[in-house]
Amino acid sequence: NETTRNLIGNCLYWLASNPDLYAAVRADRGLLSVLIEESLRLDSPVQILVREAVRPTDVPGERLETGDRVVLGIASANRDETVYPEPDDFRLDRPRPRDHLAFGAGPHICPGAALARTETMAVLEQMCDQVAAFRLADDFVPQPNPVFWAAGHRSLPCLMEPAEA
Protein backbone atom coordinates (compact mmCIF):
# COMPACT_ATOMS: atom_id res chain seq x y z
CA ASN A 1 0.00 0.00 0.00
CA GLU A 2 2.58 2.59 1.06
CA THR A 3 4.94 1.79 -1.79
CA THR A 4 2.24 1.98 -4.48
CA ARG A 5 0.85 5.17 -2.94
CA ASN A 6 4.33 6.68 -3.06
CA LEU A 7 4.82 5.56 -6.66
CA ILE A 8 1.54 7.19 -7.70
CA GLY A 9 2.36 10.34 -5.76
CA ASN A 10 5.86 10.53 -7.23
CA CYS A 11 4.49 10.19 -10.77
CA LEU A 12 1.94 12.92 -10.09
CA TYR A 13 4.69 15.12 -8.64
CA TRP A 14 6.77 14.84 -11.81
CA LEU A 15 3.73 15.61 -13.96
CA ALA A 16 2.54 18.53 -11.83
CA SER A 17 6.08 19.94 -11.74
CA ASN A 18 6.34 19.89 -15.52
CA PRO A 19 3.20 20.89 -17.44
CA ASP A 20 4.90 20.12 -20.78
CA LEU A 21 5.55 16.57 -19.61
CA TYR A 22 1.89 16.18 -18.63
CA ALA A 23 0.76 17.53 -22.00
CA ALA A 24 3.09 15.06 -23.76
CA VAL A 25 1.84 11.98 -21.90
CA ARG A 26 -1.76 13.14 -22.19
CA ALA A 27 -1.31 13.40 -25.96
CA ASP A 28 0.57 10.09 -26.22
CA ARG A 29 -0.63 7.57 -23.65
CA GLY A 30 2.11 5.19 -24.78
CA LEU A 31 4.49 7.37 -22.77
CA LEU A 32 2.72 6.59 -19.50
CA SER A 33 4.54 3.29 -18.98
CA VAL A 34 7.87 5.01 -19.64
CA LEU A 35 6.90 7.78 -17.20
CA ILE A 36 6.19 5.17 -14.51
CA GLU A 37 9.57 3.49 -15.05
CA GLU A 38 11.50 6.77 -14.99
CA SER A 39 9.70 7.78 -11.80
CA LEU A 40 10.59 4.39 -10.30
CA ARG A 41 14.22 4.91 -11.27
CA LEU A 42 14.52 8.45 -9.90
CA ASP A 43 12.29 8.12 -6.84
CA SER A 44 12.10 4.45 -5.97
CA PRO A 45 9.31 4.04 -3.42
CA VAL A 46 11.67 1.74 -1.51
CA GLN A 47 15.08 3.35 -1.01
CA ILE A 48 16.99 0.48 0.58
CA LEU A 49 17.04 -3.30 0.49
CA VAL A 50 18.59 -5.53 3.12
CA ARG A 51 20.19 -8.78 2.04
CA GLU A 52 21.95 -11.53 3.95
CA ALA A 53 25.06 -13.31 2.67
CA VAL A 54 24.33 -17.01 2.12
CA ARG A 55 28.02 -17.86 1.81
CA PRO A 56 31.34 -16.07 2.35
CA THR A 57 32.03 -13.60 -0.42
CA ASP A 58 34.09 -10.54 -1.22
CA VAL A 59 32.68 -7.25 -2.37
CA PRO A 60 35.01 -4.37 -3.20
CA GLY A 61 36.83 -3.55 -0.01
CA GLU A 62 34.94 -5.91 2.29
CA ARG A 63 34.76 -9.57 3.21
CA LEU A 64 31.25 -10.85 3.98
CA GLU A 65 30.72 -13.98 6.00
CA THR A 66 27.64 -16.19 5.95
CA GLY A 67 24.84 -14.37 7.78
CA ASP A 68 26.30 -10.88 7.39
CA ARG A 69 23.72 -8.32 6.39
CA VAL A 70 24.19 -5.74 3.69
CA VAL A 71 22.10 -2.62 3.10
CA LEU A 72 21.79 -1.78 -0.59
CA GLY A 73 21.07 1.81 -1.61
CA ILE A 74 18.48 1.61 -4.39
CA ALA A 75 18.45 5.39 -4.85
CA SER A 76 22.20 5.41 -5.36
CA ALA A 77 22.19 2.46 -7.77
CA ASN A 78 19.39 3.98 -9.85
CA ARG A 79 21.38 7.20 -10.27
CA ASP A 80 24.69 5.58 -11.17
CA GLU A 81 26.23 7.86 -13.79
CA THR A 82 28.10 4.93 -15.34
CA VAL A 83 24.73 3.34 -16.16
CA TYR A 84 22.44 6.35 -16.70
CA PRO A 85 23.61 9.38 -18.67
CA GLU A 86 22.42 12.52 -16.86
CA PRO A 87 21.23 10.34 -13.95
CA ASP A 88 19.40 13.11 -12.07
CA ASP A 89 17.34 14.20 -15.08
CA PHE A 90 13.81 12.93 -15.69
CA ARG A 91 13.93 11.59 -19.26
CA LEU A 92 11.42 9.61 -21.27
CA ASP A 93 14.00 8.68 -23.92
CA ARG A 94 16.14 6.23 -21.97
CA PRO A 95 16.92 3.15 -24.10
CA ARG A 96 15.83 0.56 -21.50
CA PRO A 97 13.25 2.18 -19.22
CA ARG A 98 12.79 -0.91 -17.02
CA ASP A 99 16.52 -1.23 -16.42
CA HIS A 100 16.42 -0.07 -12.78
CA LEU A 101 16.36 -1.66 -9.35
CA ALA A 102 13.23 -0.08 -7.88
CA PHE A 103 11.65 -3.51 -7.37
CA GLY A 104 14.89 -5.35 -6.67
CA ALA A 105 16.10 -8.02 -9.06
CA GLY A 106 16.54 -11.73 -9.52
CA PRO A 107 14.82 -14.23 -7.22
CA HIS A 108 13.99 -11.49 -4.70
CA ILE A 109 12.20 -9.15 -7.11
CA CYS A 110 9.12 -7.59 -5.55
CA PRO A 111 6.12 -9.88 -6.09
CA GLY A 112 3.85 -6.82 -6.22
CA ALA A 113 5.74 -5.08 -9.05
CA ALA A 114 3.18 -5.87 -11.75
CA LEU A 115 0.28 -4.85 -9.51
CA ALA A 116 1.98 -1.56 -8.57
CA ARG A 117 2.55 -0.74 -12.24
CA THR A 118 -1.04 -1.66 -13.13
CA GLU A 119 -2.56 0.41 -10.33
CA THR A 120 -0.35 3.39 -11.16
CA MET A 121 -1.25 3.13 -14.85
CA ALA A 122 -4.96 3.10 -13.98
CA VAL A 123 -4.61 6.29 -11.91
CA LEU A 124 -2.58 8.08 -14.58
CA GLU A 125 -4.99 7.09 -17.36
CA GLN A 126 -7.90 8.46 -15.31
CA MET A 127 -5.96 11.68 -14.70
CA CYS A 128 -5.32 12.06 -18.42
CA ASP A 129 -9.01 11.43 -19.16
CA GLN A 130 -10.38 13.81 -16.56
CA VAL A 131 -7.77 16.54 -16.09
CA ALA A 132 -6.75 18.84 -18.95
CA ALA A 133 -3.89 20.45 -17.04
CA PHE A 134 -2.57 20.59 -13.51
CA ARG A 135 0.30 22.03 -11.56
CA LEU A 136 1.62 22.17 -8.05
CA ALA A 137 -0.18 24.63 -5.79
CA ASP A 138 1.64 27.93 -5.33
CA ASP A 139 2.09 27.22 -1.62
CA PHE A 140 3.46 23.70 -2.15
CA VAL A 141 6.38 22.95 0.13
CA PRO A 142 7.92 19.50 -0.27
CA GLN A 143 7.51 17.42 2.86
CA PRO A 144 9.10 14.02 2.40
CA ASN A 145 7.56 10.85 3.69
CA PRO A 146 8.78 10.39 7.27
CA VAL A 147 9.58 6.70 6.72
CA PHE A 148 13.36 6.38 6.31
CA TRP A 149 13.22 3.57 3.74
CA ALA A 150 10.60 5.16 1.48
CA ALA A 151 10.50 8.05 -1.00
CA GLY A 152 7.28 9.96 -1.35
CA HIS A 153 5.42 13.10 -0.38
CA ARG A 154 3.26 13.61 2.69
CA SER A 155 0.88 15.66 0.57
CA LEU A 156 0.75 16.97 -2.97
CA PRO A 157 -1.56 19.98 -3.27
CA CYS A 158 -2.29 20.70 -6.93
CA LEU A 159 -4.46 22.99 -9.02
CA MET A 160 -6.37 21.13 -11.72
CA GLU A 161 -8.25 22.14 -14.82
CA PRO A 162 -10.95 19.61 -15.72
CA ALA A 163 -11.02 18.09 -19.18
CA GLU A 164 -13.96 18.91 -21.39
CA ALA A 165 -16.64 16.27 -21.34
Give the range of the structural domain holding residue 37, as residue numbers without chain letter: 2-162
Condensed to tens digits (0 to 9), the pLDDT of residues 60-72 reads 889 999 999 999 8
Quote the strand ranges of 7-155, DSSP E.
48-52, 57-59, 62-64, 69-73, 131-136
**Residue 60: which CATH number?**
1.10.630.10
Among 70-74, 137-141, 147-151, the minimum mean pLDDT is found in 147-151
Is there a contact between 100 and 78 (Cβ–Cβ < 8 Å)? Answer: yes
Residue 105 has pLDDT above 90, yes or no: no
The total number of structural domains that make up the chain: 1
